[in-house]
């Protein structure tokens, strides 16, 4: 009898990389649904464009690198990147924005560094920053919530505007951004920042029509939906709590500090947690394993630092939201963090002194 | 986390209150224990042939005591050795030795080992059994010897000779009896505890007599309530015995993890449990010790769990050592159709290894044969890139960073892998178990460890050669110089003699004195004056000790390369990893040396003159016997003996450290002396 040989362990958990990536994608669905509800169907169109581009780019490059692309595509990591790009860019941005961003993310940030597991930076966020710097107008053209907009729009409008720049009725994106009074509506984060430069207090700004109490209309719901998805991932142990919780804590504590210092100048922690991409960032972006810290303490530091950076950039930086920048900054610090946060090995008195650097 | 500074009593109180420590990481694989633990341990009919490897444990194999064609009785020793590290193997039934040849070994490598093949005669007749029921009145050494002679080595997995652990030479605070059995599927200890708790208790009593521990802790995972009950009943009357349930988590039964769970202490990096006052024995070992002491039966059978989805009748059996795997498969009604290709795992699913051949025998460490159906095992070729998710780091009980170890192992950056404490990996497999990218992490670690060991060996060899070369060069130079000096002096003396012919006589006398002085000085300059001046029997004793140490070192050196070519066996969770084993071996070699010393001393008293010529030859002191005899008069004999013993001790120690290197070095010394005298 000839016996098959294998190495231990012979048993393993029934969860592979592809499944993990897919679960993260599913968990993002409520957030995407909320985006559709408040900001139109554009995000779905972009999702399709981004996914197709991502898979095509990945397959092509792997084919060029003579690797087994079928298996690589099945791990769904490219799809997740595509999803993150699609939900990050404004829903009615032109189609080529998504295409350029996705090709950049997969082709340059991920594959040029060696493919899955080797990329130093979070591909979706690197692409987002590249797009924001290169195409600031298109990348900041967020729509007001549908309830406030003068023009309503449907899926056909979304497709039309993304590919031609105009809705089926011929409205351009700038026309869609005005409210019933003909005023262009900004995102809540923008509005607060602009208000401050105009000498208004935060609470005065919060009186604007785009706000509903302490947070922006629509934005609160989108963030809450991503939070829900994130809790699902935590419960399923797809992600560990360290990074999301420490990031939210970092953001909230910094915001509280300044809010307590001067509530006229600084917005509330509540506002920060439920504006922009805070929840998306905490549960779906910061948690990207590849470009994050790998040690337990490292993950806490990594997350908290991102939270603080988000606050700093939102408050004093020139860009509307800060998740992407904060993540990239901390991606660069990961080797350092990992180096200094090695856990103490069993039976060793302290962390080994002659540590090797990562990679 | 600092090492908890609790006192022994505090720790024991804590345990009594039901509190345990936790270890980091760990996993909860599906247990599958009910598959095999529902029925009693069964007796199986004998196989047609038994294949008994001469070496079944860590250590050295003994000398063969039987020959082909010889009739043997059950329990008759097949090997014998004076080496303190060797335990004998025995015939597991009565019958005829039909062959003595290399057979496929129970080892992941599938290499062959010299084995005795026995054809049973069906009578199963025991040799004369000599129980030591009154062990409490006996000398401890005698009891230890009985355990050794019974061939008992750790049944938990590592197969460490049990009698060596029974002489720790240090204070034992906790004697831990390991009945955790945390690997999925395996239930051999579970059944043994349920059915033979009392005999296990007897074995513990013997160990308590030998070790005199402050407390005894019997640890069982809380998924085995019946076993816990049985042991509690058996140990009810012993107040310092505590039966402890341990939370079910893999690998709670790992030696280091169990020490941590029970005492909050951590075994130091390269140390042994005794370094934190703990000695650990497996329940199966206790059972075997009781057998050896109370019935005089050597270790000839053990409980083996036959389990897995491809067996129709999974259950536990008493398997005579040497029973081939195929025989047990047929006993459990193996269904090859339920497997993609035949695959049998010796040990559990987490740390077991696949056997290479159907004839692989059951050995002392074989606790389980797992024959999984298709859907029970992982797919081996599904490796994907590491996504750095750290699931592995979260699962690692040693708090390592498996992904970094993997990265550096794969890239063959062995230094970096060691910086990340590769050698603290116990190869438990928890990391690979959780890895979503299905990377066979442990395999990478084994490879890296083997590579590192190979490198070390080569470096050692080169260094030794270099040192030898340099020593030789220095010696030759010194000789040359001495010769020249001698010639010069002789010439001078001649010149002087020519000049002072009239004072011829006195000059000759002074010349002679000078020569004598020079000679005396020379003898004093010899590197080891004490060794020279020792009395004869001390010299012989030293020679014996040295020879033993050397032999130990040699066998060790021989053993090493073998260990490095193959992936480490790491038979199951109770086993230490290979590295810890080598650390253990180092420690144990010291103990072995002590035993050798003791043996040498004893022998010295008995038969001083019976030493073989070989031993004389190997002993450089023998060359200087005449001188030593003269010196006895000068110095008190007893003092000399003490010094000699000290030197012998130092040498034995040195021998331990330098291992085989010793051989060449001491040869050099001999040469040097010959040239000087
Ligand atoms: S579990 Fe596997 S994929 Fe995740 S970090 Fe560890 S080795 Fe990499
Ligand atoms: S096999 Fe080694 S690295 Fe992996 S979990 Fe066990 S101890 Fe940690």
Walking along chain A (359 residues) 10 residues at a time, the average pLDDT comes out as: 78 83 93 89 91 91 80 82 92 91 92 85 93 88 74 76 77 72 71 78 76 78 94 91 94 94 86 90 92 91 94 84 90 92 84 41
Burial A259-281 (b: 16+ CB within 10 A, else e): beeeeeebbbbbbbbbbbbbbbb
Q: Are residues A190 and A321 in the same domain?
A: yes
> What mean pLDDT do residues B385-402 have?
91
pLDDT at position B370: 93
Q: Are B36 and B331 in contact (CB under 8 A)?
A: no
> What mean pLDDT do residues B428-435 have?
92
Q: Which residues in chain A have their CB less than 8 angstroms from residue B370's CB?
A: 10
Residue of B nearest to A345 (CA): B399
> What mean pLDDT do residues B419-430 have?
91
Residue A20 lies in a domain: no
- Is the pLDDT at B222 greater than 60, yes or no? yes
**Ligand 2, CB cutoff 6 Å, lining residues:** B 395-398, 400, 402, 405, 425-431, 441-442
Residue A330 lies in a domain: yes
pLDDT confidence tier of residue B550, bands split at 50, 70 and 90: low
Beta-carbon separation of A347 and B443 below 8 A: no
Ligand nearest to the CA of B384: 1
Q: Are residues A56 and A89 in the same domain?
A: yes
Residue A354 lies in a domain: no
- Is the pLDDT at B153 greater than 60, yes or no? yes
Residue A10 lies in a domain: no
Q: How far is B64 from chain A (nearest CA, A)?
A: 31
Beta-carbon separation of A4 and B340 below 8 A: yes
Who wins on pLDDT, B155 or B223? B223
Name the residue facing A117 among B260, B350, B388 (closest C-beta). B388
pLDDT at position B547: 58
Domain end point (choices A184, A204, A237): A184
Q: Are residues A320 and A268 in the same domain?
A: yes
Ligand nearest to the CA of A240: 1
pLDDT per residue as tens digits for the range B55-92: 766 666 778 889 899 999 999 999 887 777 778 899 99
Q: Are residues A170 and A242 in the same domain?
A: no
pLDDT per residue as tens digits for the range B35-60: 898 989 999 999 999 999 987 666 66
Beta-carbon separation of B269 and A347 below 8 A: yes
pLDDT confidence tier of residue B526, bands split at 50, 70 and 90: very low
Concatenate the DSSP letters of all residues of B397-453 into one string.
Answer: TT---HHHHHHHHHTT-HHHHHHTTGGG-----HHHHH-TT---HHHHHHHHHHHHH
Q: Are residues A333 and A232 in the same domain?
A: yes
- Is the pLDDT at B590 greater than 80, yes or no? no
- Is the pLDDT at B660 greater than 80, yes or no? no
Beta-carbon separation of A352 and B357 below 8 A: no
pLDDT per residue as tens digits for the range A181-191: 666 667 788 77
Q: Are residues A206 and A335 in the same domain?
A: yes
Tell me whether B328 touches chain A (CB under 8 Å).
no
Q: Where in the sequence is the domain holding A170, given as residue range(s)?
A: 149-184
Which range is least confidently modeled, B241-255, B369-383, B448-462? B369-383
Q: Are residues A133 and A161 in the same domain?
A: no
pLDDT confidence tier of residue B303, bands split at 50, 70 and 90: very high
Q: Are residues A53 and A125 in the same domain?
A: yes
**Ligand 1, CB cutoff 6 Å, lining residues:** B 386-392, 402-403, 406, 434-437, 439, 441
pLDDT at position B558: 47
Tell me whether A213 touches chain B (CB under 8 Å).
no
Q: Are residues A95 and A114 in the same domain?
A: yes
pLDDT per residue as tens digits for the range A53-75: 999 998 888 888 887 777 777 78
B395 Cα nearest atom in ligand 2: 5
Q: Are residues A242 and A333 in the same domain?
A: yes
Residue A284 lies in a domain: yes
CA distance B613 to B617: 6
Measured in Å, residue A339 CA sits from the centre of ligand 1 at: 18
Which residue do the tokens 């917005």 mark? A267
Q: Which residues in chain A have their CB less than 8 angstroms from residue B356's CB?
A: 3, 5
Tell me whether B380 touches chain A (CB under 8 Å).
yes
Q: Are residues A279 and A154 in the same domain?
A: no
Q: Are B374 and B338 in contact (CB under 8 A)?
A: yes
- Is the pLDDT at B634 greater than 60, yes or no? no
Residue A229 lies in a domain: yes
Measured in Å, residue B26 CA sits from the centre of ligand 2 at: 9
pLDDT at position B669: 39
Name the residue facing B393 among A1, A295, A355 (closest C-beta). A295
pLDDT confidence tier of residue B521, bands split at 50, 70 and 90: low
Measured in Å, residue B412 CA sits from the centre of ligand 2 at: 18
Name the residue facing B442 among A7, A77, A240 (closest C-beta). A7
Q: Are residues A241 and A319 in the same domain?
A: yes
Q: Which residues in chain A have their CB less than 8 angstroms from residue B351's CB?
A: 8-9
CA distance A36 to A41: 5
The interface pTM score, or ipTM, of the predicted complex is 0.84
Who wins on pLDDT, B363 or A319? B363
Residue A128 lies in a domain: yes
Residue of B nearest to A288 (CA): B389
Residue A349 lies in a domain: no
- Is the pLDDT at B549 greater than 60, yes or no? no
When divided into structural domains, chain A yields a total of: 3
What the block records as the tokens of A265 is: 């100048």
Radius of gyration of chain B (CA): 30
Residue of B nearest to A115 (CA): B385
């Amino acid at each position: 009898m000839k016996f098959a040989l294998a190495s231990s362990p012979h048993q393993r958990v029934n969860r592979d990389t592809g499944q993990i990536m897919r679960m993260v994608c599913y968990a993002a669905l409520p957030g995407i649904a909320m985006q559709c509800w408040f900001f139109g169907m554009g995000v779905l169109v972009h999702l399709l464009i981004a996914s197709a581009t991502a898979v095509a780019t990945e397959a092509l490059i792997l084919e060029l690198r003579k690797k087994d692309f079928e298996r690589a595509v099945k791990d769904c990591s490219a799809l997740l990147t595509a999803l993150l790009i699609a939900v990050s860019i404004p829903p009615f941005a032109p189609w080529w924005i998504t295409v350029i961003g996705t090709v950049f993310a997969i082709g340059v940030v991920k594959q040029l560094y060696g493919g899955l597991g080797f990329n130093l930076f979070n591909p979706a966020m690197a692409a987002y920053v590249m797009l924001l710097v290169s195409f600031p107008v298109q990348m900041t053209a967020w729509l007001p919530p549908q309830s406030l907009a003068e023009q309503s729009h449907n899926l056909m409008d979304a497709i039309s505007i993304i590919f031609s720049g105009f809705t089926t009725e011929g409205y351009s994106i700038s026309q869609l951004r005005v409210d019933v009074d003909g005023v262009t509506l900004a995102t809540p984060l923008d509005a607060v920042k602009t208000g401050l430069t105009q000498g208004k207090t935060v609470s005065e700004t919060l009186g604007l029509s785009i706000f509903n109490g302490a947070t922006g209309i629509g934005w609160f719901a989108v963030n809450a939906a991503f939070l829900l998805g994130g809790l699902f991932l935590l419960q399923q142990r797809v992600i560990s709590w360290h990074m999301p919780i420490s990031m939210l804590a970092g953001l909230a504590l910094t915001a509280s500090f300044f809010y307590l210092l001067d509530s006229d100048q600084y917005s509330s922690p509540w506002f920060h947690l439920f504006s922009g991409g805070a929840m998306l960032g905490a549960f779906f972006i910061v948690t990207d394993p590849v470009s994050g810290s790998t040690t337990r303490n490292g993950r806490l530091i990594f997350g908290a630092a991102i939270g603080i950076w988000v606050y700093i950039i939102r408050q004093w930086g020139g860009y509307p939201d800060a998740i992407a920048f904060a993540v990239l900054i901390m991606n660069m610090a990961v080797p350092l963090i990992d180096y200094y946060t090695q856990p103490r090995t069993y039976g060793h008195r302290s962390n080994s002194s002659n540590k090797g650097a990562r990679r | 986390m600092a090492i908890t500074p609790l006192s022994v009593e505090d720790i024991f109180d804590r345990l009594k209150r039901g509190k345990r420590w936790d270890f980091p990481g760990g996993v909860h694989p599906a247990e599958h224990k009910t598959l095999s633990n529902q029925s009693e341990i069964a007796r199986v009919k004998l196989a047609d042939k038994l294949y008994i490897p001469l070496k079944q444990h860590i250590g050295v194999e003994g000398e063969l005591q039987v020959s082909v064609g010889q009739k043997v009785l059950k329990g008759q020793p097949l090997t014998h050795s004076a080496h303190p590290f060797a335990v004998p193997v025995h015939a597991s039934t009565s019958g005829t030795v039909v062959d003595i040849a290399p057979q496929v070994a129970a080892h992941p490598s599938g290499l062959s080992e010299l084995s005795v093949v026995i054809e049973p005669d069906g009578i199963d007749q025991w040799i004369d059994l000599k129980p030591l029921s009154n062990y409490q009145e006996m000398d401890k050494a005698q009891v230890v010897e009985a355990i050794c002679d019974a061939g008992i080595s750790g049944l938990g997995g590592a197969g460490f000779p049990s009698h060596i652990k029974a002489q720790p030479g240090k204070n034992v605070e906790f004697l831990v009896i390991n009945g955790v059995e945390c690997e999925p599927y395996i239930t051999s200890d579970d059944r043994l505890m349920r059915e033979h708790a009392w005999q296990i208790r007897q074995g513990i009593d013997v160990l308590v007599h030998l070790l005199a521990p402050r407390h005894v802790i019997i640890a069982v995972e809380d998924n085995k309530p019946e076993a816990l009950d049985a042991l509690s009943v058996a140990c009810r009357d012993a107040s310092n015995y505590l039966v402890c349930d341990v939370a079910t988590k893999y690998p709670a039964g790992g030696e280091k993890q169990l020490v941590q769970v029970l005492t909050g202490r951590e075994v130091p990096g390269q140390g042994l449990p005794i370094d934190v006052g703990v000695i650990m024995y497996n329940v199966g070992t206790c059972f075997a010790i009781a057998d050896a002491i109370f019935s005089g039966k050597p270790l000839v059978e053990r409980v083996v769990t036959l389990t897995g989805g491809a067996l129709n009748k999974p259950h536990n059996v008493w398997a005579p050592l040497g029973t081939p795997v195929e025989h047990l498969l047929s006993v459990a009604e193996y269904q090859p159709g339920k497997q993609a290709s035949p695959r049998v795992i010796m040990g559990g699913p987490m740390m077991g290894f696949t056997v290479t051949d159907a004839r692989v025998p059951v050995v002392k460490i074989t606790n389980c044969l797992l024959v999984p159906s298709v859907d029970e095992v992982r797919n081996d070729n599904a490796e994907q890139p590491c996504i750095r998710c750290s699931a592995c780091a979260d699962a690692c009980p040693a708090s390592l960073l498996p992904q970094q170890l993997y990265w550096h192992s794969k890239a063959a950056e062995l230094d970096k892998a060691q910086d990340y404490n590769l050698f603290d990996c116990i190869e438990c497999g928890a990391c690979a178990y959780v890895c979503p990218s299905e990377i066979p992490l442990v395999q990478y670690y084994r490879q890296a460890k083997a590579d590192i060991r190979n490198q070390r060996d080569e470096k050692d060899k080169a260094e030794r050669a270099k040192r030898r070369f340099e020593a030789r060069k220095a010696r030759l130079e010194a000789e040359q110089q001495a010769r020249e000096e001698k010639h010069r002096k002789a010439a001078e003396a001649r010149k002087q003699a020519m000049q002072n012919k009239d004072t011829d006589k006195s000059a000759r006398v002074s010349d002679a004195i000078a020569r004598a002085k020079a000679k005396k000085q020379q003898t004093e300059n010899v590197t080891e004056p004490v060794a020279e001046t020792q009395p004869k029997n001390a010299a012989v004793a030293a020679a014996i000790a040295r020879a033993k140490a050397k032999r130990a070192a040699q066998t060790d050196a021989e053993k090493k390369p073998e260990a490095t070519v193959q992936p480490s066996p790491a038979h199951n969770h109770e086993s230490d990893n290979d590295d810890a084993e080598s650390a253990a071996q180092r420690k144990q070699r010291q103990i072995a040396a002590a035993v050798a010393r003791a043996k040498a001393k004893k022998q010295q008293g008995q038969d001083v003159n019976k030493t073989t010529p070989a031993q004389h030859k190997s002993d450089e002191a023998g060359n200087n016997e005449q001188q030593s005899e003269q010196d006895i008069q000068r110095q008190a004999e007893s003092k000399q003996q003490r010094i000699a013993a000290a030197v012998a001790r130092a040498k034995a120690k040195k021998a331990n450290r330098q291992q085989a290197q010793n051989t060449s070095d001491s040869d050099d010394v001999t040469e040097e002396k010959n040239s000087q005298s």
